[in-house]
Amino acid sequence: MARLQEGRWTHAHDGGIVVFLIGMRVNRPWRPDLWVPTFTAMPRMLAELQREPVRGLLGAQLLLGSGGPSLVQHWRSTDELYAYAADPAGEHRPAWTAFNRRARAARGAVGIWHETYAVPAGGLESIYVDMPVSGLAAATGAVPVTAGSQTARQRLAGPTRL
């Protein structure tokens, strides 16, 4: 279990950031031969991105829900996200090609989705109270809430928390 960070905390990042949500849904659970390759591709990609921070991934958090597993990823920029997605030498491009090949052969066995949010500087706000460091704070660092960052409005107004 993650260590509890007592008190009120916020993230330590003042620039823009990219939030990338990605997930999958198993539509035919009785056919693991059709969905396990998709499921196992993501850990390989995350391991690669953690080994190579220059690619731009700041952090990722796995979420498990009734719709299937999903990841919240924080990236430095859309350019770095797109460069990783298109890199034929990286883990993503071959996995994407293989997924498309399998999807054509077995339509509807597994679904995937993603959403990309490019958040400009000044468009981020977070609060974590008596929580393990998670989310944006895990990706960029956690700092204590100060007198100038007590409210969401104050935290959105600027870097007075540092």
Rounded Cα distance between 31 and 110, Å, is: 10
Q: What is the dihedral of CA 74, 25, 67, 48, to 10 degrees?
A: -30
Walk me through the domains of the chain, giving residue ranges and CATH numbers. 4-13+122-157 (no CATH), 17-119 (3.30.70.100)
- Distance from C-alpha of 7 to C-alpha of 57, rounded to nearest angstrom: 27
Per DSSP, what are the bridge partners of residue 61?
72
**Average per-residue pLDDT in the chain?**
91
Distance CA 38, CA 46 (A): 13
d(CA 69, CA 121): 29
Give start and end residues of each alpha helix (H) in 52-134: 78-86, 92-105
Q: What is the pLDDT of residue 48?
A: 96
pTM of the model: 0.89
* Residue-wise pLDDT tens digits, 85-128: 999 999 999 988 888 888 788 888 899 999 999 999 889 999 99
